Amino acid sequence: MSVPEDMDRDGGRHRKMVETHSARFHSRELGIARAPGRVNLIGEHTDYNGLPVFPMAVDRDIAAVFAPRKDRQIILINTDPVFAERSFQIEESIPSYSTGDWGNYCKAAVQGLLDFFRQKRRSVDRFRGFEATFDGNIPSAAGMSSSSALVVLCALIFLAVNDLDLHTTVEGKLELADLLAGAEHYVGTQGGGMDQAISLMGRSGHAVKIDFFPLQIRPAPLPDDYSIVVADSTVKAAKTAEALDKYNRRPIECRLAAAVLKKTLSDRFGREVPVALLGDLNEHRLAVPEGEIWTIADAAFHEHPYHLEEIAAILGQKPEKTAHLYCQRRDGTIFPQPTEGFKLQQRYRHVIDEGRRVEQSVQALETGDIHGFGRLMNRSHESCRDLYEISCQELERLVQISREAGAVGSRLTGAGFGGCTVSLVENNRVESFVEHVIQAFYRHYLKRDDRDFGSLIFPCRAADGASIDRAGIRAEI
């Protein structure tokens, strides 16, 4: 079969996958697919609050060769032996592997699609499985969304082998992105919809502004004379149970903040206002002038962290009910109350201001105000550090060095607690920028003496979203 050009650009990747596949399976006619990772330029932790983000899909991806099976089994192997073979059956409720297992991302996609088609009253009994061999070059646990790329990729393969064409129109892609955002909660995270949407709908040469509820996308061209450089802090933002709790605490705090605001605004206006998310605070939804909303909302919280009992008292509920409504994990257990309390004011402030920064950034980019865009990136970082508290020492050092090295803007990107930074750098400074960061951060600060730092710091091209070519298996389907 012919191999799409981007599939083989880094030399023999396709061959490696086919060889690994043939050594394990008998399938000869293979489809091929890829789904990119992403780097978020600005708009951190806004998506699950219903506020926009501004990421781009990158030229690093997870690729797979695959073939349909006649039965309902799904078998996954990987060219990287760190990821051991996984195999499971398509069934009504697919039990998960232990937290952090790579197979869970495929299970998440399949379970999400089964639920979706069942809801649409489509018969799922005849769905069949597949065998697939994966190969990835997105740094993992680095905040570049390798996990959502895997979810998207598995969804596309599942659709292809079952001859379903949900992803072939723009509306279909939006629907698929939306359903996969929810589907990924299967792994235990309570994230929003940015990662799946950008992996599916990235556009070469463009960053994409994404709005939520309803999902909408708007690509904005990136300037030719600037580069996006990603640098890995090397602090792993892995999805262990502990990391999940750290991440999930933020959506929980935001839901609690929204509940307090709903109560405060409803009391003030003498009617129930429709606020479920912080992003619902707008004039259009509440039918109240924007200025009035902010006067009330900005004064609604005290700086000191809240205990659950205090929040429950504000809401006029028993603490158990508040915990049940807002603090549940996916498995039904209750998220433990942080000893220092819930930081409602700080999380509220970050989310609302970050949403505004996204709007301003898109405008800055569209009017060619690159330095304005860079300043917004810097402000976003400070807010992520001080109000959302998702930075760490290494990220701080890396951002500081990146700015000294000539970045117009530099910030942590993705979920935080480690992972990567993203920097905006003028093209003719990229080489000296990279050299400076290698010397000051990797060699001097982290005391690393790698021969090649190319997997830790690299410029990224904005790439197209996921693609699938099932030409090789079409005859069989």
Rule CB under 6 A: which residues touch ligand GLA? 40, 44-45, 47-48, 145, 191-192, 194-195, 414-415
DSSP state of 16: H
Nearer to ligand GLA, 129 or 409 (CB): 409
Strand 206-211 versus strand 216-221 pairing type:
antiparallel
Nearer to ligand GLA, 182 or 319 (CB): 182
Cα 438 to chain centroid, rounded: 27
For 125, other C-beta atoms within 10 Å of its C-beta total: 7
Q: Which long-range contacts (CB under 8 A, 24 or more apart) does 444-448 make?
A: 445/394, 445/397, 445/401, 446/234, 446/394
Shortest Å, Cβ 296 to ligand GLA: 27
Question: Which is the catalytic residue, given 47, 59, 178, 195?
Answer: 195
Please confirm, yes or no, whether 195 is among the known catalytic residues.
yes
Shortest Å, Cβ 161 to ligand GLA: 26
Nearer to ligand GLA, 162 or 199 (CB): 199
Shortest Å, Cβ 196 to ligand GLA: 8
Shortest Å, Cβ 189 to ligand GLA: 6
The rounded distance, in Å, linking the Cα atoms of 33 and 16 is: 14
Nearer to ligand GLA, 25 or 48 (CB): 48
Nearest residue to ligand GLA on Cβ basis: 191
Contact between residue 38 and residue 202 where contact means Cβ atoms under 8 Å apart: yes
What the block records as the tokens of 327 is 């603090």
Shortest Å, Cβ 446 to ligand GLA: 24
Nearer to ligand GLA, 264 or 421 (CB): 421
Helices (H), 28-71: none
The DSSP code sequence of 373-429 is HHHHHHHHHHHHHHTS----HHHHHHHHHHHHTT-SEEEE-SS-SSSEEEEEEEGGG
Nearer to ligand GLA, 312 or 392 (CB): 392
The rounded distance, in Å, linking the Cα atoms of 361 and 373 is: 5
Helices (H), 25-79: none
**Peptide bond just before 305 cis, omega within 30 deg:** no
Shortest Å, Cβ 474 to ligand GLA: 33
Instruction: Show which residues are catalytic.
Output: 195
